[in-house]
Amino acid sequence: MKKTDEAIPKALLEVWEWKNRVYEDIKNLDFEGKKAYFDHGLAQAALELGARIEMRPDGSFVLV
């Protein structure tokens, strides 16, 4: 069954649009460029949420 745009929730369409924009932003970057892109996004999210970033022992990050 094929869904039309009317059957797809607006929130899901927004996620797909965001995913495509991110892909276009990073598709030609090397690993370090991609890492910098996502590090910047993490820092922006922390700033907007009034949180700080902590690195976990496994190398992942959490906003606190």
Q: Work out how many domains the chain is built from and give that number.
A: 1
Give tens-digit pLDDT for 2-60: 556 678 999 999 999 999 999 999 999 999 999 999 999 999 999 999 999 999 999 99
Q: Are 37 and 27 in contact, with CB atoms under 8 Å apart? A: no
Structural domain includes residue 23: yes
State the pLDDT confidence band at 1, using cuts at 50, 70 and 90.
very low
Structural domain includes residue 37: yes
Structural domain includes residue 1: no
Structural domain includes residue 42: yes
C-alpha span between 13 and 7 (Å, rounded): 11
**Range(s) of the domain holding residue 24:** 8-63
C-alpha span between 36 and 20 (Å, rounded): 18
